[in-house]
Amino acid sequence: MKALVFKKFGGPDVLTYETIPDPIIKEDEVLVRMEAIGLNFADVYRRKGNYHLVGNPPYILGYEGAGVVEAVGNSVQGFKKGDRIAFADVPHANAELVAVPKDKIIPIPDGISFETAASLLLQGLTAHYLTKDSYKIQEGDVVLVHAAAGGVGQLLVQIVNLLGGTVIGLTSSPEKVAKAKELGATSVYLYEENWVEKVKEAYPNGVDVAYDSVGATLMDSFSSVRTGGTVVFYGMAGGDPAPVDPRMLMDTSKTLTGGDLWNILTSHEERVIRSSELFTWVLEEKLRLPAPTVFALRDGQKAHEYLESRKSTGKILLLP
């Protein structure tokens, strides 16, 4: 099979498109012929060597994608050759063929394309647990969403609205302000503004919850939430957060909680239930996905360059 591989850490130029042996599935796995593969910043971090990789080179990036079952392991029941499936957390996805454990299989319903499934799952499941588990959005909540025009941010804006909340967005450019408002943010501020002051002008008591994926803005997020409010910290795109003084939390009755998707996706049932709700929202046109930017898998270098340029506001897909 063909795969996008790298043998040393570095920039996009370390990626090469090569022929390597097909994966051999275990009895509890299915072999999937990939139709669409999601590209995420985690792939960049792995390529650079920031994340630990298991095994020896050549390494294959990618954890998210969708395709068709080609073969089924002896102990796998409920799936057959020809089934349309997707996954959010299976390694070595940047290839024509991927071995997928049965517990990580997510069936794709009729009406959902391979491209939509590969665009939605990783970021959609993240937005889902953030709004259902890290902090359960209630009718009337006022919610501050960092990076509101980013991949997770766009979905957060829409899901918060679906659940009855009001969204204040933060982003980095006028173009991204327009995108966040289009998706349902009531007001959107630029990071270069004094956004904490503007949030407090609009909501003098503070917002109910802030979803912070920037990291370096954590203390500003605390300044924006009300007494008894919550900050959900789930990323460090802008750098490490400052240390939090527990006495501040005590004095203000504020809550800091973290979030990591892999602590949520602990079973096949969790994957199916949560993804089914996302797929239903898409089919009912309650959740809109921007058109993805598509690259051929062989052009993985160009795709990585484009992702790192931060010019994209939608998903980037690799097509074998």
Tell me the three-class secondary structure of the chain, residue by residue.
CEEEEECCCCCHHHCEEEECCCCCCCCCEEEEEEEEEEECHHHHHHHHCCCCCCCCCCEECCCEEEEEEEEECCCCCCCCCCCEEEECCCCCCCECEEEEEHHHCEECCCCCCHHHHHHHHHHHHHHHHHHHHHCCCCCCCEEEECCCCCHHHHHHHHHHHHCCCEEEEEECCHHHHHHHHHCCCCEEEECCCCHHHHHHHHCCCCEEEEEECCCCCHHHHHHHEEEEEEEEECCCCCCCCCCCCHHHHHHHCCEEEECCHHHCCCCHHHHHHHHHHHHHHHHCCCCCCCCCEEEEHHHHHHHHHHHHHCCCCCCEEEEC
Confidence band of 53 (pLDDT split at 50, 70, 90):
confident
Mean per-residue pLDDT, 5-24: 96
Confidence band of 50 (pLDDT split at 50, 70, 90):
confident
Asked if pLDDT for residue 144 goes beyond 90, the answer is: yes
Phi, psi of 62 (to 5 degrees): 100, 135
Phi, psi of 53 (to 5 degrees): -115, 140
Q: Which tens digit of pLDDT belongs to each residue from 80-116?
A: 999 999 999 999 999 999 999 999 999 999 999 999 9
N-terminal to C-terminal alpha carbon distance within the chain: 10
255-258 and 225-233 strand pairing: parallel
> What's the confidence (pLDDT) of residue 264?
92
Of 204, 14, 164, 23, give the one whose Cα is nearest residue 100.
Answer: 23
% of the chain exceeding 70 in pLDDT: 100
Confidence band of 182 (pLDDT split at 50, 70, 90):
very high
Record the pTM.
0.93
Going from N- to C-terminal start, the domains of the chain cover 2-120+268-319, 137-260
Confidence band of 41 (pLDDT split at 50, 70, 90):
confident
Confidence band of 311 (pLDDT split at 50, 70, 90):
confident
The whole-angstrom separation of Cα 283 and Cα 16 is 37
Which class for 207: exposed (0-12), middle (13-18), buried (19 or more C-beta within 10 A)? buried
Q: What is the CATH number of domain 2-120+268-319?
A: 3.90.180.10
Cis peptide bond N-terminal to 58, omega within 30: yes
Question: Is 137-260 in the same CATH topology as 2-120+268-319?
Answer: no
Pick the CATH number of 137-260 from 3.40.50.150, 3.40.50.300, 3.40.50.720, 3.30.300.30: 3.40.50.720
Tell me if 172 sits within 8 A of 190, measured CB to CB.
Answer: yes
